[in-house]
Structure 1
Amino acid sequence: MRTSRRAAGQGLRTPRVAAVAGIVSALLLGGVVVLVRLAVPEHPQDAADWFADGSRRDSLHTALAMVPFAGVFFLWFMGCFRDYVGAAEDRFFATLFLGSGLLFLATLFVLAVTAGSLLAVTGFAMRPPAPGRDELWQYGRHFVLTLLSGYFTRMAAVFVLSTTTIGHRLGVFPRWLSWLGYLVALVLLFSVSSTGHLELAFPVWMLAVSGHILVRTLRTRSGPPTSGGG
């Protein structure tokens, strides 16, 4: 009875190192982006190289194995950020934060399923006879790259924008982190379709935010978050 009263009075508290989840998620997401970009060629005429080079398919297998863990740690990162800002967040931006974060995760998992289907089609098509092999491969290749450079990045941009706006308005982000967030959001919204590997701007931003939250949380855990301006 005494234990239950103490638990009710104190409530659940986020672990001190919860921000480490954001760092792990950022590293995993960065690895996924790099491996997918290296494995899936941008040019349609590279179909022969794809079927001949088994290392590319191995890289894609590795990326798919990392995706579930990246998604789990990303959810931890979302929870850590909400705990860090407290209950003062605006409902409009809080809705954008939650909605874009969940849609980003959904897009990430759809991307993984599509890449897995590309590998399955490749394995089937490599067994003779292989009617329509190139057509199936071109469809899967285009689908994977479109998800990565179009939808994955746009949902990430909305998430960065809403997170940065919440952190800036509540004064829990320093000025440099706010500017970085808005710059990354613009890059993800308008630049990635024509330039490969700029998707990495999102995990780099996550590393910066998670590192900032981790340092400030470890310093000020006993009291409310102080203003990070300057």
Structure 2
Amino acid sequence: MHTTTKTSLLRSEEASKQVGGSGRWAAISGIGFVVLMLVGSMLVGDVPLPDAPVQEITDYLADTDRQMGNLIGAYSWVVGSLLFLLFAGRLRSELRSAEGGAGTLSNVNFAAGAAFSAVWAAAAGISGAIPFAIAVRGAPAIDPDLVRVLPAAGRFLLLLGGGFTGALFLVTAAVVIFRTGVFQRWLGGLGIVAAVALLFDIVYLNITPFWAWVLVTAVVMLTRRPKPTTPTPDAA
């Protein structure tokens, strides 16, 4: 019996180490997501505004360096969206384990996270279309009106689609946290505040409350200690 119990304990410790390792990588992915989104936004956003003078748009169309910067930013968004999926997948596992039952809210949370990731990848493609056509494919001429419309369309897509899916992601996570205590309840409260702020940020063209919550949650996941596992002794 003692040998069986010892074996069970070793297996439980090994499983705990594996879970802890995957949790750390998921948390690091969340931090990487925030960094790439910030860097990508600065690079993708380096385009003339929709109401910019024709000469400014003409100068942009001739500036290959700025266009390459836009492309790097677009790729940063795509890679960041994939890192977010890793983070969201681990968060879903944490929420699902605590929620129990059918895990409806946990599943909706991950679905919202997947939709958020897809929206950002699509927005990256729209925002990078003009720089790709000129700097990579050598397009001979681009209608200046496309410079006014396409980047704005990409940003509207991520702010509308990403804003509402992001709010749903935050609210469902917060509800599970409040119900189960899987994380500190202040993190759930922060999620509600971020979700409400996100709705206003859709108007003010700013999605940083979502990034802030992901960053804080990733740090919590990275720094918290795993709960000890106590195996039940096997019968002789």
TM bracket (short chain): 0.7 to 0.9
Q: 1:88 aligns with which of 90, 98, 102?
A: 98
Residue 56 of structure 2 corresponds to residue 44 of structure 1: no
Q: What's 2:233 paired with?
A: none
Q: What's 1:33 paired with?
A: 41
Q: Distance in 2 between matches of 1:48 and 1:222?
A: 63
Report if the CA contact (8 A) 1:36-1:59 is conserved.
yes
**Bigger radius of gyration:** 2
Q: RMSD value over aligned CA atoms?
A: 2.8
Q: Distance in 2 between matches of 1:49 and 1:221?
A: 58
1:102-133 CA-partner distances (Å, limit 9, x unpaired): 11111111112112212234557973xx4x61
Report if the CA contact (8 A) 1:157-1:189 is conserved.
yes
Q: 1:111 aligns with which of 123, 129, 138?
A: 123
Q: 2:197 aligns with which of 187, 190, 194?
A: 187
Q: 2:180 aligns with which of 170, 173, 192?
A: 170
Q: Distance in 1 between matches of 2:190 and 2:49?
A: 29
Q: Distance in 1 between matches of 2:227 and 2:28?
A: 15
Q: 2:83 aligns with which of 57, 63, 73?
A: 73
Q: Distance in 2 between matches of 1:140 and 1:125?
A: 18
Q: What's 2:208 paired with?
A: 200
Question: How much has 1:147 moved relative to structure 2?
Answer: 1.4
Q: 1:138 aligns with which of 148, 155, 158?
A: 148
- Structure 1 unaligned residues grouped into runs of 5+: 225-230
Work out the number of aligned pairs and report it: 210
Q: 1:212 aligns with which of 220, 227, 232?
A: 220
Q: What's 1:120 paired with?
A: 132
Q: Distance in 2 between matches of 1:117 and 1:171?
A: 44
Aligned CA distance change for structure 1 residues 176 and 211 (closer, same or farther; 3 Å): same
TM-score, structure 2 as length reference: 0.75
Letter in 2 for 1:93: L
1:151-180 CA-partner distances (Å, limit 9, x unpaired): 222221211121222222211232432222
SS state at 2:202 partner:
coil
Aligned CA distance change for structure 1 residues 178 and 34 (closer, same or farther; 3 Å): farther
Q: Distance in 1 between matches of 2:93 and 2:229?
A: 13
Letter in 2 for 1:27: V
Aligned CA distance change for structure 1 residues 21 and 221 (closer, same or farther; 3 Å): farther
Report if the CA contact (8 A) 2:173-2:188 is conserved.
no
1:52-103 CA-partner distances (Å, limit 9, x unpaired): 5444323312212223321232122122213333523263312321211111
Comparing 9-18 and 198-207, the one that deviates more: 9-18
- Structure 2 unaligned residues grouped into runs of 5+: 1-6, 231-236
Q: Within 5 Å, which residues of 2 pair with 1:49-68?
A: 49-68=59-78
Q: Distance in 2 between matches of 1:22 and 1:30?
A: 13
- What percentage of residue pairs aligned between the two structures are identical? 23
Report if the CA contact (8 A) 1:51-1:126 is conserved.
no
Residue 106 of structure 2 corresponds to residue 98 of structure 1: no
Q: What's 1:227 paired with?
A: none
Q: Distance in 2 between matches of 1:42 and 1:79?
A: 36
